[in-house]
């Protein structure tokens, strides 16, 4: 399980870099009028990752409980694919961001392939959650869970602010300017 969680940690680091560099600094998505739907997709994905990071850090999903985890993991895939379409519809992605997204998709596939044998094993156990502890890695994933949850809230709020500014004819202006 450690290998799966280490790959998940690499994915988390890439996601944080993508968010801070491309979404926040370079492209300023939270202030972009056409980014409302993209920000909402990012928020939905962030909340899914908060569940994945936080739960896998400390627990196993046993028996029938493996199905909700599978649904969260599948939900992330659907949201990501929808986000790709939304990005292509609303903006031109910088080449580096496009490459980052491709590498993140591959990394997610590696994570899923490493997680799969454990999920099969957990599915054969009595239903419920089992305790797990991966030492420092559990704490790091917990911090990432809190961070991605906060990022999801920020994206959700930003999507509402962008929609409000656009409806008032203030699209593209900062709150200070308006």
Residue 133 placed within a domain: yes
Note the pLDDT of residue 17. Answer: 95
Residue 177 placed within a domain: no
E strand or H helix at 61, and its extent? strand 59-62
Q: How confident is the model at residue 163 (pLDDT cuts 50, 70, 90)?
A: low
pLDDT in tens, 48-105: 999 999 999 999 999 999 999 999 999 999 999 999 999 989 888 889 999 999 999 9
Among candidates 24, 21, 52, 54, which has minimal Cα distance to 39? Answer: 24
Residue 98 placed within a domain: yes
Note the pLDDT of residue 94. Answer: 87
Residue 9 placed within a domain: yes
Span 167-177, mean pLDDT?
Answer: 50
Note the pLDDT of residue 22. Answer: 86
Span 137-164, mean pLDDT?
Answer: 92
Residue 174 placed within a domain: no
Note the pLDDT of residue 162. Answer: 73
Residue 91 placed within a domain: yes
Distance from C-alpha of 132 to C-alpha of 129, rounded to nearest angstrom: 9
Note the pLDDT of residue 175. Answer: 42
Distance from C-alpha of 118 to C-alpha of 154, rounded to nearest angstrom: 33
How many structural domains compose the chain?
A: 1
Distance from C-alpha of 36 to C-alpha of 42, rounded to nearest angstrom: 10
Q: Residue 125 sits in which domain range?
A: 2-167
Residue 16 placed within a domain: yes
Q: Which residues pair with 77 in a beta bridge?
A: none
Note the pLDDT of residue 165. Answer: 61
Residue 172 placed within a domain: no
pLDDT in tens, 19-49: 989 888 887 877 788 888 889 999 999 999 9
């Amino acid at each position: 399980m450690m290998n799966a969680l280490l790959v998940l940690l690499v994915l988390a680091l890439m996601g944080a870099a993508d968010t801070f560099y491309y979404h926040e600094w370079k492209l300023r998505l939270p202030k972009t009028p056409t980014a409302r739907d993209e920000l909402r997709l990012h928020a939905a994905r962030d909340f899914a990752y908060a569940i994945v990071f936080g739960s896998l850090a400390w627990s196993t999903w046993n028996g029938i409980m493996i199905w909700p985890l599978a649904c969260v993991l599948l939900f992330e895939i659907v949201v990501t694919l929808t986000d790709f379409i939304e990005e292509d519809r609303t903006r031109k992605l910088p080449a580096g961001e496009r490459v980052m997204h491709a590498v993140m998709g591959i990394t997610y596939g590696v994570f899923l392939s490493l997680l799969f044998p454990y999920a099969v094993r957990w599915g054969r156990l009595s239903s419920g959650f089992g305790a797990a502890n991966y030492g420092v890695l559990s704490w790091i994933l917990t911090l990432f869970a809190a961070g991605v949850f906060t990022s999801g809230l920020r994206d959700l709020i930003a999507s509402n602010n962008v929609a409000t500014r656009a409806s008032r004819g203030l699209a593209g202006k900062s709150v200070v300017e308006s």
